[in-house]
Amino acid sequence: MKILVINCGSSSLKFQLIDSETEGVICKGLCERIGIDGSRIVYTPVGKDKITKEEPMPDHNRAIELVIEALTNAENGVVKLEEIGAVGHRIVHGGEKFTKSVVINDEVLKAIEDVSDLAPLHNPANLIGIRACQKVMPGVPMVAVFDTAFHQTMPEYAYLYGLHYSYYEKYGIRRYGFHGTSHSYVSKRAAEILGKDAADLKLIVCHLGNGASLSAVDGGKCVDTSMGLTPLEGLIMGTRTGDIDPSVVEFIMKKENASVADVTNILNKKSGVLGLSNDLSSDFRDLEDAYLKGDKNAIRAVDTFVYRVVKYIGAYTAAMGRVDAICFTAGVGENSGFTRGLICDKLGFLGATLDKEANKVRGEEKFISGADSKVKLLVVPTNEELAIARDTYALCK
């Protein structure tokens, strides 16, 4: 079956067409600047050159029409419309309602809408993507795959904040966690690579990209994760603070006569390694180059990022009582031997050692721990689109 995977943002739409039998990508692409001047679709049919078309896209309906046109046109299309058997949608927030992927119906749409106040930038855009697909592909089954679902196995003591319990009861304020599709995919794949049953393993997954989160996966189930009610909590990220004292918000508001929206913007867009490096860059490639030249701003940012990751690894080892393997994934985790090296060099307390030669790997599955390491260290490239396609196929075949 050919599965269309859709990841819809407020002004962008990423897509991949995946063959469920071979699990190969047939075509992938992106619609940018939806609803804004200068919109375009960029896509690459497998084995062909990248195609870019500037096209007005006043809304997501038009974007989906252009995606279908790109996939099915006579000149360089890759599929017939009727061959698309199902559509899998990435949905950011499933609240407590969704513990796994589901076939989309009116009740599911209403439930996604009901938790939209927990992800006001993302869920409404995800819903627009679903409705646009339903319009263009009536009758084709659609599946919702939630970023939060994998983390729903966390015990109460891991997901509750030290707030009055009534806030949880009234508003659902708690840790939900994100990047769940990635944590799930990587932890399952790590068990396969290790040749062990997931039920017997205690794993820590480090998803280190522009957004970054860790999860503790015990016996195949998530028992803790670093992102919280929103993706702002936890690790220091490209532009997000991660954990800070909540009083900082009021403090900055008073000092700078700023509004809540101003401070929220600072915490999400102007902080993280970008802010710590005095605006040098949020991109780890730039930061690493500068670090190696001795740039103090880059050294401060990367060292602070690394320290936070190591602290969480220690915490999650304590939470599980032991750790068998630590997995690195996403842009930085998969590609940056430099940052992985800085992190792994601080894991001596676990008896972990790094194989420096193996750690040169980029974007491939590989053990990077030394032969004498008490904890396996491994790189496992994530593949959220494939995980979405697998769930979609399983529910629609």
Contact at 8 Å (CB) between 183 and 218? no
Choose between 335 and 369: whose C-beta lies nearer to ligand AMP. 335
The C-alpha atoms of residue 356 and residue 337 are separated, in whole angstroms, by: 9
User: Which of 40-43's residues contact partners 24+ apart within 8 Å by CB, and which partners?
Assistant: 41/66, 41/67, 41/70, 43/15, 43/67, 43/70
CA 178 to chain centroid, in Å, comes to: 7
- Work out how close the CB of 110 gets to ligand AMP at its nearest, in angstroms, rounded to a whole number: 31
- Work out how close the CB of 158 gets to ligand AMP at its nearest, in angstroms, rounded to a whole number: 25
Task: Report which residue type is found at 104.
Answer: I
Which residue's C-beta sits nearest to ligand AMP?
331
Choose between 10 and 210: whose C-beta lies nearer to ligand AMP. 210
The C-alpha atoms of residue 72 and residue 52 are separated, in whole angstroms, by: 16
Choose between 20 and 213: whose C-beta lies nearer to ligand AMP. 213
The helix-helix angle for 296-320 and 284-292 (nearest 10°) equals 120
Active-site pick, 49, 59, 147, 200 = 147
* Residues that bind ligand AMP in the complex, under the rule CB under 6 A: 209-211, 238, 283-285, 288, 330-332, 335-336
Sign (positive or negative) of CA dihedral 93, 185, 203, 345: negative
- Work out how close the CB of 273 gets to ligand AMP at its nearest, in angstroms, rounded to a whole number: 8
Tokens for 137?
């592909």
* Terminal CA-CA length for the chain: 8
Choose between 201 and 377: whose C-beta lies nearer to ligand AMP. 377
Q: Which residues pair with 42 in a beta bridge?
A: 30, 52
- Work out how close the CB of 288 gets to ligand AMP at its nearest, in angstroms, rounded to a whole number: 6
The full DSSP string for 128-168 is: HHHHHHHHHSTT--EEEEESSGGGGG--HHHH--SS-HHHH
Choose between 382 and 392: whose C-beta lies nearer to ligand AMP. 382
The C-alpha atoms of residue 8 and residue 15 are separated, in whole angstroms, by: 8
200 catalytic residue (yes or no) = no
Q: How many Å is the maximal CA-CA distance in the chain?
A: 61
Choose between 319 and 342: whose C-beta lies nearer to ligand AMP. 342
The C-alpha atoms of residue 344 and residue 366 are separated, in whole angstroms, by: 15
- Work out how close the CB of 318 gets to ligand AMP at its nearest, in angstroms, rounded to a whole number: 27
- Work out how close the CB of 86 gets to ligand AMP at its nearest, in angstroms, rounded to a whole number: 26
Residues forming the active site: 147
